[in-house]
Structure 1
Amino acid sequence: MNLRSIANRYTSRVNPNVSATIKRSTGYTTSPSGTRIPTYADLPVRVQVQTASNGDIQKLEALNIQGVHRVIYISAEVEAMIRVDKKGGDQIVFEAGVMPEDDQGTRWIISAVLEVWGHEWRKCAITLQNSYTA
């Protein structure tokens, strides 16, 4: 039974799912100058974006993550930042007009995976990085 699918039928009536692109980290390349350049694989997805609850914000504060936060529910396997392993985490890009923070598109990082339900779906905290145009 996919509980996310059942719940999404009702929540999307009030708060519609939106299109986004997951930029899944695939490592990096090294430029001739020796600078590391992150590489990503793009994955188009539909996500449910919601306001972060007080409990979600407390979890992020405990991880010392500050900034503008939202929570997404996504039916894809994504990874967050892992500081001890020096991994940057996957990014999510929203087109212009989807998020209120920017009318030209925004780039967010998946800062924490808050809930995992097998391979079916994840609840993730995302943190605004900066304006994004591609």
Structure 2
Amino acid sequence: MNLRGIANRATTRINRNLPAEALICQGYGTAASGKRTAIYADPVAITAQVQALTKDEIRHLDAQNIAGTEMAAYVNRQLTSIDRDKGSGGDVVLFGDQPTVPVDLRGSAWVVTAVLEAWTTAGWSRVGLTRQMSS
């Protein structure tokens, strides 16, 4: 049974899914200067449903000293946050400029700062996202 699919049919009536892309972190590279930068795989199309964080999630993230997480998103893919053991810096969600994307999200990049729910066998996850500064 695809529980997320059932719930998604109900929730999209009031909060539609948004097209986005995921940049999956593949590790780090180090420049000659010693500066480390994340290396990402090519963008992968995903569907995201953006929601507010709950009060308990905000408290939980604060207790873990994870600051700046601004929203949550259900996505149809497994995404990861920083994983020092795997050398991963956290995946990135990119929202495009399509008219279906809310104006305040258009063209924005969000790093995954927390995995709130990981349903590895079901193919979806709920993640906490922090907006990245535009360059």
Q: Is the TM-score greater than 0.5?
A: yes
Structure 1 residues without counterparts, runs of 5 or longer: none
Whether the 8 Å CA contact 2:78–2:120 is kept in 1: the answer is no
Instruction: Return the TM-score normalized by structure 2.
Output: 0.82
Q: In the alignment, which residue of structure 1 is the partner of 2:35?
A: 35
Instruction: Return the TM-score normalized by structure 1.
Output: 0.83
What's the RMSD between the two structures over aligned residues?
2.3
Deviation at 1:28, TM superposition (A): 2.7
* Matched residue type, 1:71: A
Q: In the alignment, which residue of structure 1 is the partner of 2:78?
A: 77
Structure 2 residues without counterparts, runs of 5 or longer: none
Q: In the alignment, which residue of structure 1 is the partner of 2:134?
A: 131
Whether the 8 Å CA contact 2:27–2:89 is kept in 1: the answer is no
C-alpha distance after superposition, 1:1-38 (max 9, x if no partner)? 11000000111111110011111001233334443332
Task: Report the Cα distance in structure 1 between the residues aligned to 2:87 and 2:65, rounded to whole angstroms.
Answer: 15
Deviation at 1:78, TM superposition (A): 1.0
Identity of aligned residues (%): 37
> CA distance change for structure 1 residues 2 and 50 in 2, over 3 Å: closer, same or farther?
same
C-alpha distance after superposition, 1:65-121 (max 9, x if no partner)? 222511111121111123677642111111247355465x21111111111223322
Number of residue-to-residue matches in the alignment: 131
